[in-house]
Chains A and B, each alone.
Chain A
Amino acid sequence: MAPTETHQFPPPKVLTYHHHQSSSSSPPPTLITQGAEGRLYKTTHLTRDRPCALKYRPPKPYRHPVLDARLTKARLASEAKVLERCRREGVSVPAVYAVDPAAGWMMMEWIEGVPVRVRINAWLGERCGEEDGEEGEEMDETPLVDLMKRVGEAVGALHRTGVVHGDLTTSNMMLRPPPPPPGQVNGREEEDNKAKVLEGEVVLIDFGLATQSMSDEDRAVDLYVLERAFASTHPRAERLFASVLASYRDAFKKASSVLVKLEDVRMRGRKRSMLG
Chain B
Amino acid sequence: MALEKLELKHVPPTYHVYGALFRDVANTDFLHKQLLSRNSEFEYAFIDASSVISRLHVLSAVYSAINVLLDGTLRTPNVHSEIVVSLNTNNNIADAYRRWGITPGKTKDLIVIKVIPPPQSPAQEQDETATTQQQQQQEAIWDHLRQHVQGIPAPLTDAELAQATDWPKVRKYYRLNGVPALDRLADERERRREMESLVVMGMALRGL
Contact = CB atoms under 8 A, between A and B. Distances in A.
Interface string B1-43: 0000001111111000000000000000000000000000000
B208 A15 contact: no
A234 B60 CA distance: 42
Interface string A34-48: 000000000111111
Given A77-B208, A98-B204, A26 B67 contact: no
Interface-central residue, A45, A83, A101, by most chain B CB under 10 Å: A45
Contacts of B116: none
Nearest to A103: B71
Interface stretch (A2-10, A88-96, A117-125, A135-143): A88-96
Nearest to A77: B208
A97 B180 contact: no
A178 to B, nearest CB: 14
A98 B60 contact: yes
B13 A99 contact: no
Given A81-B205, A88-B180, A17 B59 contact: no
Given A17-B13, A102-B71, A102-B73, A84 B201 contact: yes
DSSP class of A's interface residues: helix, strand, loop or mixed? mixed
B9 A48 contact: yes
A44 B59 CA distance: 14
Interface residues of A, number: 38
Interface string B57-85: 00110011001000101000000000000
B91 interface: no
Interface-central residue, A18, A20, A96, by most chain B CB under 10 Å: A96
B133 interface: no
Nearest to B59: A46
A89 B181 CA distance: 5
A97 B204 contact: yes
Given A80-B204, A87-B197, 12 more contacts: A46-B63, A76-B208, A81-B205, A84-B205, A87-B201, A89-B181, A90-B180, A97-B60, A102-B71, A102-B73, A103-B71, A107-B204
